[in-house]
Amino acid sequence: MSLPGADGPHLFVVSGPSGAGKGTVVRGVLGQRPDVWLSVSATTRPARPGERHGIDYRFVSVPEFRAMRERGDLLESAEVYGNHYGTPRQPVDRALAQGRDVICELDVQGAVSVKRARPQAVLVFVEPPSLDDLFLRLRGRGTEDPPSLTKRMKAAYEEVKNKGLYDHIVVNDAIDKAVERLLLILDGTETRKGPHTQ
Ligand code: ADP
Ligand code: 5GP
């Protein structure tokens, strides 16, 4: 891993179990670093109420997704919780070429693929303080029906086992602290791998 900050823009991958707070922490960071560009993934998952096409995701059909993948338009792609997700390559490269740091929110398969394709990428794992907290957050968000909640909790056990693959682990206990820590990682001043909950 090369340290971000000094030598130009970097690609950051943020992963972690569904409900760990990735979206919340990343939003907090973007509030303070509007120059950072957040990648908008393509997905075949149906939009949740309030989600906007082109802002939260590019919502596409399965044939459209396959066509993007076959054209080589995706930097990485994976099947997650029964739907396809992928990172459009061109917007990421455009932002990096403009000198902007880029954040992609991906599952662990995506993180591994990006690291293989772009060894300079910095992988960050956002972890909930406990699986009980994760369940409460996921349920509290009110976006998942019971089967989806169960699927996401089962996946969480597996995902947490993979956290050793990441360059940094951020425990999302207090939101402000987690945001602060991700900001340090972006700035290249965080040398600890973590977890760090203080
Ligand atoms: P993810 O993007 O990882 O799926 P979200 O950012 O949607 O997770 O967060 C899941 C839920 O947990 C949301 O309702 C969010 O408001 C809440 N949440 C996020 N971070 C914290 C935190 N540090 N403490 C308590 N609740 C949190
Ligand atoms: P959700 O359906 O909750 O928005 O996302 C489900 C999972 O898919 C999360 O772990 C999220 O990080 C991951 N994900 C979102 N976009 C992508 C993507 O483009 N590629 C990969 N590999 N995973 C993604």
CA 74 to centroid of ligand 2, rounded, Å: 14
Domains parsed from the chain with CATH numbers: 11-187 (3.40.50.300)
184 vs 8: which has the higher pLDDT: 184
Does the pLDDT at position 7 exceed 80?
no
Residue with tokens 């939260």: 56
CA distance 172 to 181: 10
Beta strands in the chain (DSSP E): 11-15, 37-38, 42-43, 58-59, 74-80, 83-88, 102-105, 122-127, 168-171
Contact 22 CB / ligand 1 (< 6 Å): yes
- pTM for the predicted model, two decimal places: 0.93
Task: Check whether 43 has a pLDDT greater than 80.
Answer: yes
The closest-lying atom of ligand 2 relative to the alpha carbon of residue 111 is: 22
- Taking the centre of ligand 1 as the mean of its atom positions, its distance from the CA of residue 138, in whole angstroms, is 7
Mean pLDDT of 90-98: 97
Which residue, by CA, sits nearest to atom 10 of ligand 2? 107
Mean pLDDT across 80-99: 96
- The mean predicted confidence, pLDDT, of the chain is 93
